[in-house]
A and B are shown apart, each in its own frame.
Chain A
């Protein structure tokens, strides 16, 4: 009997909690069915051999998936990792530079410092990579298990049967109107970069001077407290940019809704940008004086000159983006009309 008990114990610890007793009872009764009366130890071993590996037997009863992430979610999982990983790494590297750039450096320790930053950078990239990988994997493994109630068959029957006619509803995307994945990708990355720079502006933007002994960070250009007081507006713009990028990813072409969203978003960011840059306390006096000395003009001229120049550049870019969206949208529609007429 000892052989049977050990065998059943091996099965038991791998069985799902539910029905455990019932399953064990059935296996025990099966084993007894297979044995002749007053069986010898050899016969017991033979029967257990026939029943096979207890691990395999227990696996058969398992109701949980035997994989972490199955084919249903694998594609989404991989593309999400590919998208988030570079963004997370970029943000962490910008932050690293921001933290290390302050203070003067003398010649001798410059190389040491660069080495230290590179070392730290490699370490950060690895740890951020591991974090991203870990959390996305955990989330997907959970999704895989939570959904278990729905069978694959249910899922398929819920989806309407596909007919070739359905292709009519999917508009063929003309090349001119199409938004490539790389464009969306770049947009995400750009949002991540300027967002990070915004929150570390006092450490990154400023005057660097070569005073014969390596680079020295003379003065930050902006007053970080003033800059940060606009954070709700900036966070709003970041949110809208991300939403716009997701919308682009979804639509894959310039549609009327998308062009309007783009227009509204650009105008809003012009508004907030101008609002921030016209704040008198935005620039550090030391920075203004430095520029004034450099060009031999007075501080007030520098301040107004800088303000309108930067604002102008920003507005030109924003307006360019708006026009670009509309042009791509219009071009696309014209082309489709022509090709429709050709078909007729």
Chain B
């Protein structure tokens, strides 16, 4: 039971994760600062998922990256590209609409149970 629940939850979170990451990349972020920001908003993410995800987003031109070597240690910064901004806005609208509908659906079911 719990194993099934875990795999269902992972599946459910996977899509939301991309949206969450994109939303935080309107200002340049490096890996760990992104983790901190997400955690502060209550979103836990496995780091072994996050870093490869950033690479894939970069490969699909949704974000761009650059190394900052001015600090004591080099850091890789990621930021949303123009293309990524457009994709993010569309995803956001879709997500809002979908969750609204889902919410209504689940409410109805609640009422029926009462």
Contacts and interface: CB of A to CB of B under 8 A. Distances in A.
B partners with A:
yes
B92 interface: no
Interface string A41-68: 0000000001111001100110000000
B47 A33 contact: no
Contact of A57 (B31, B51, B73, B75): B51
Interface in A113-145: none
A7 to B, nearest CB: 12
Query: Is chain B's interface secondary structure helix, strand, loop, or mixed overall?
Result: helix
B74 interface: yes
A278 interface: no
A30 B48 contact: no
B46 interface: yes
A52 B52 contact: no
Contacts of B48: 51-53, 56-57, 60
Interface in A12-28: 19, 22-23, 25-27
A29 B52 contact: no
Contact of B76 (A26, A32, A34): A26
B103 interface: no
B83 to A, nearest CB: 15
B51 A52 contact: no
A29 B49 contact: no
Interface residues of A, number: 19
Contacts of A19: 55
Interface residues of B, number: 16
- Is the contact region of chain A dominated by helix, strand, or loop, or is it mixed? helix
Nearest to A30: B31
A57 B47 CA distance: 8
B75 A29 contact: yes
A19 B59 CA distance: 12
B73 A26 contact: no
B73 to A, nearest CB: 5
A258 to B, nearest CB: 46
Could you say which of A22, A32, A53, A60 has the most chain B C-beta atoms within 10 Å of its C-beta? A60
Contacts of A34: 32
A78 to B, nearest CB: 26
A60 B75 contact: no
A19 to B, nearest CB: 8
B47 A29 contact: no
A26 B33 CA distance: 13
A53 B46 CA distance: 11
B76 to A, nearest CB: 5
Contacts of A25: 74, 76
Given A25-B74, A29-B31, A57-B48, 6 more contacts: A26-B51, A33-B31, A33-B33, A34-B32, A52-B46, A56-B48
Interface of A: 19, 22-23, 25-27, 29-30, 32-34, 50-53, 56-57, 60-61
